[in-house]
Structure 1
């Protein structure tokens, strides 16, 4: 075993050369980029996976949600592990586990094996995302520089998720759905090597204690809630398993809040939510990524099974979304750094509203140009939303809490994707009596209305989270947490 690595103090971090800091940022963004490509690219492969492995509609939902649920459940643990054991070390372990899970996904011969391998992937992802953000916030210490670095991080999130359908479609058409997972292996290897060369080891000054009870309750809550939503249509909303799942979800949520409020070092520090910008970042992430997750799931089925496009053609149809995301993500980071979060957050909500309302008119013969414009508006919205969400989550917290705070923001994104796939899918499938190809176009209209409602929520979050009162709550929360930590 290697000798213990001495943690690099924040002052040493700030003395790193600008080129090295940019290289560290690029390495951290690379890790998130493959996760985003994998998450959204798998959506394009769902029809091929369903055909080759004989997966049902609910199993296809679980291919997505098994990953996002485990990831959401473990992100806070991943962030605290990095703070405690060393961010560089945990980051490298995460890259290794994610790569191994990707190999197992590509070798799957049944839906059940694929779902299990996706869960292993998620374990690795949970050690990558929050730890990478913690590395960034400790390397970039000047507020404006940090905001721009976070903007680049947001760009990686948005662009990777937008490019996922295009890359996934090309791989499925050219090689097969397994290639989506093989792509991760060399990238994980390269990121692991770059991390070993570039990234200094760092830890939080005070190591947080494990919280196994809180961790278990989070997992139980998210798993049972999603199970009830996904399986409700097939088993019956009043069936014993579904009712029991919702009951367990409610009990576990209440138990989690009680347990966390009595722990000195909880998995989820409820004091964070006294900061209105922080709470708004959580709500905004859930709303935005519910819209995105639901869109990616339903749209790929619509384009391939209703409109008869190939996986590559379906991916190319989302190119306007990818381009818009790539253009507006860095712009959003600069706007947050120079003018604050209100403009990009409200703009994001407006774009999601327009896109959702346009999609309510989608049918069997809707113009592809019309669909492309709807996708363009969604891409603009998702490009604008990431930087204000991430910046609000970490900017009002002491640097020592950066790992956990960023993990909560990342958790909120994954919870949003899980709920989007589950809820949008449940709404659309409830309106289909026969084959998906015949009924999905009209059955999805209520889901697109819900997408517009998510946009309305984002507009509200943008105004609420950026006022004088909200910023004052963030300052008080930061001071209180810092005072408690030094006591």
Structure 2
């Protein structure tokens, strides 16, 4: 009985660890506007809150996994949890943006240590991989759920409390995980590796990963052709090339390169990277569309994206059970195809799409993400048990790099598409105003408004245009244009003009002064009526131009997102063949499996 309690408590600790580390990768994206406002900073500066966390995770995950194998997984996990908890507390208490960024680096360092160790700890807790498969599936489900539910949880906490709570909430969870970890686990090591630290390999790999991750995350800000980014690409290439040349010859290398001879491991790594790539589509790109284009609240956007999280909870246990009995490659294949399909659905969402359309796309994405996320299990199925922790570190780092690639490619592409769309909106709006039957004053005011308001500066809220303020200018009877031919206003205007001419002629011919005066009065009233007709015609024309510009704006912006999602879909299509090899038993030279 006590043994069962230890297993339940230990599994709970591992679920908590995986959940909080993964959650903090996506939850901050939705908090950036609130953080920007609170610290009176720019969105570019605030974006470092997310960037440094992902950078730190990507750089230190593999060394963290290696140190855990060498010096004790329980010991390193305890250290990592303490570091993560301190970083979370500091993040919540941060009095400035700089302090928050420093706190996120500390938090990321703790996360890099603890996240790859969960699989190896699960194996040690349950005795072997066969018995641990179910628990590894639950841990993977926790990671998938956290990644998908970040925007929903973040939106809820920010709406009802504060962005600081997204960090404070980690502290009690860390304390609980620490208690369970030290109560339920015994120390475990990889006895096949040397205790010698490969400082040279760690330096080369960490430096290379840092540079390549930085380039992927920030190249869109600095520009791909900027000297800083080009030098970083060169530095990353040299560092990683030297690492690959020298590291296999080391006495105690940081990486066991024979892992990459295993087809299942490599295929699972590629699919898990695709999972990281896909989550950017919902947590960043689609969330931008909901909040900044449709002007949904943070909470409403979170609720829509939440359906992907609910689907993860449903499909992962089913997929894991099926995978244990029939092989994991089938649910992973279905998951990869579903992720691809979800991007096709997202590409066809526009201003006229219903809430059901959006929720359905999130359901399909959640199903795909949950099933494809089982590649975290398939990655360690056919490798030696003592290499599970290192393998877990590599695939978790792979998912982070997949997310970085998603940010670099999709967000960079989206920015370019939105800039092009805004230029088209501006150009078409100017043509619409120039062709409209408007007075010179109204046209000048409208054109000035377009030039000052219709632009794109890298933030998604600078393409709005509202002609409501022009109504006061349009209501002034100065140099009014003739109503457009073919309209009812034009017919009334022409008729009134003719009546006015007739009345003036009759007034001139009339010998009765009183009759002549009455006719002239009628002519003036008719001119006033004609003026009102011209004003109403101009107001109607201005309203039509406004609707035309708005409809074109909606169409162009929807196209910008459509192009972005199509590119993401094409990339996922190329990953589908790899899914078939994620659970293939092969003869391996990397030692006997336990």
Question: TM-score, normalized by length of structure 2?
Answer: 0.73
| Contact 1:82–1:203 (Cα < 8 Å) also in 2 | yes
TM-aligned CA deviation for residue 442 of structure 1: 3.6
Whether 1:181 and 2:204 are equivalent positions in the alignment is no
RMSD, aligned CA: 2.3
TM-aligned CA deviation for residue 335 of structure 1: 1.8
TM-aligned CA deviation for residue 152 of structure 1: 0.8
TM-aligned CA deviation for residue 16 of structure 1: 8.3
CA distance in 2, matches of 1:307, 1:349: 28
TM-aligned CA deviation for residue 353 of structure 1: 1.2
Moved more, 50-59 or 34-43: 50-59
TM-aligned CA deviation for residue 347 of structure 1: 0.5
CA distance in 2, matches of 1:300, 1:231: 20
| Contact 2:147–2:279 (Cα < 8 Å) also in 1 | no
| Contact 2:385–2:593 (Cα < 8 Å) also in 1 | no
**Greater C-alpha Rg:** 2
| Contact 2:125–2:185 (Cα < 8 Å) also in 1 | no
| Contact 1:284–1:458 (Cα < 8 Å) also in 2 | yes
Distance 1:348 1:84, change over 3 A: same
CA distance in 2, matches of 1:54, 1:187: 30
TM-aligned CA deviation for residue 327 of structure 1: 0.5
CA distance in 2, matches of 1:395, 1:103: 37
Q: 2:448: which partner in 1?
A: none
Whether 1:376 and 2:376 are equivalent positions in the alignment is no
Distance 1:442 1:57, change over 3 A: farther
CA distance in 2, matches of 1:73, 1:226: 8
CA distance in 1, matches of 2:142, 2:150: 12
Whether 1:354 and 2:466 are equivalent positions in the alignment is no
Whether 1:405 and 2:391 are equivalent positions in the alignment is yes
| Contact 2:216–2:404 (Cα < 8 Å) also in 1 | no
| Contact 1:218–1:253 (Cα < 8 Å) also in 2 | yes
Q: 1:479: which partner in 2?
A: 591
| Contact 1:66–1:118 (Cα < 8 Å) also in 2 | yes
CA distance in 1, matches of 2:81, 2:106: 12
| Contact 1:130–1:410 (Cα < 8 Å) also in 2 | yes
Q: Deviations over 1:297-319 (max 9, x none)?
A: 22222222222222221111112
Q: Deviations over 1:162-207 (max 9, x none)?
A: 2222211111011111110000011101111111211122222244
| Contact 1:72–1:415 (Cα < 8 Å) also in 2 | yes
CA distance in 1, matches of 2:217, 2:398: 19
TM-aligned CA deviation for residue 92 of structure 1: 1.2
Distance 1:75 1:440, change over 3 A: farther
CA distance in 2, matches of 1:235, 1:162: 29
| Contact 2:33–2:43 (Cα < 8 Å) also in 1 | no
TM-aligned CA deviation for residue 338 of structure 1: 0.9
Q: 2:293: which partner in 1?
A: 306
CA distance in 1, matches of 2:281, 2:213: 13
TM-aligned CA deviation for residue 411 of structure 1: 1.2
Q: 1:452: which partner in 2?
A: 569
Q: 1:3: which partner in 2?
A: none
Distance 1:215 1:348, change over 3 A: same
Of 121, 125, 140 in structure 2, the residue corresponding to residue 154 of structure 1 is 140
Q: Deviations over 1:246-291 (max 9, x none)?
A: 1112112211211222223222211110000011111111112111
Distance 1:156 1:362, change over 3 A: same
Q: 1:436: which partner in 2?
A: 460
TM-aligned CA deviation for residue 331 of structure 1: 1.4
| Contact 2:17–2:177 (Cα < 8 Å) also in 1 | yes
Distance 1:269 1:59, change over 3 A: farther
TM-aligned CA deviation for residue 457 of structure 1: 3.3
TM-aligned CA deviation for residue 142 of structure 1: 4.4
Q: 2:522: which partner in 1?
A: none
Of 259, 268, 272 in structure 1, the residue corresponding to residue 259 of structure 2 is 272
Q: Deviations over 1:374-399 (max 9, x none)?
A: 11111001110222x12222222222
Distance 1:60 1:426, change over 3 A: farther
| Contact 1:94–1:128 (Cα < 8 Å) also in 2 | yes
Whether 1:140 and 2:252 are equivalent positions in the alignment is no
TM-aligned CA deviation for residue 477 of structure 1: 3.3
Structure 1 residue runs of 4 or more that deviate by more than 6 Å after TM superposition: none
Moved more, 327-336 or 201-210: 201-210
CA distance in 2, matches of 1:108, 1:131: 29
Distance 1:289 1:397, change over 3 A: same
Moved more, 97-106 or 40-49: 40-49
CA distance in 2, matches of 1:16, 1:127: 29
Aligned pairs for 1:252-263 (under 5 A) are: 252-263=239-250
Structure 1: gaps (5+ residues): 1-14, 483-487
Distance 1:406 1:230, change over 3 A: closer
Structure 2: gaps (5+ residues): 420-455, 464-555
Secondary structure at the residue paired with 1:268? coil
If asked which structure has higher relative contact order (CA below 8 Å, sep 6+), I would say 1
Q: 1:242: which partner in 2?
A: 229
| Contact 2:349–2:558 (Cα < 8 Å) also in 1 | yes
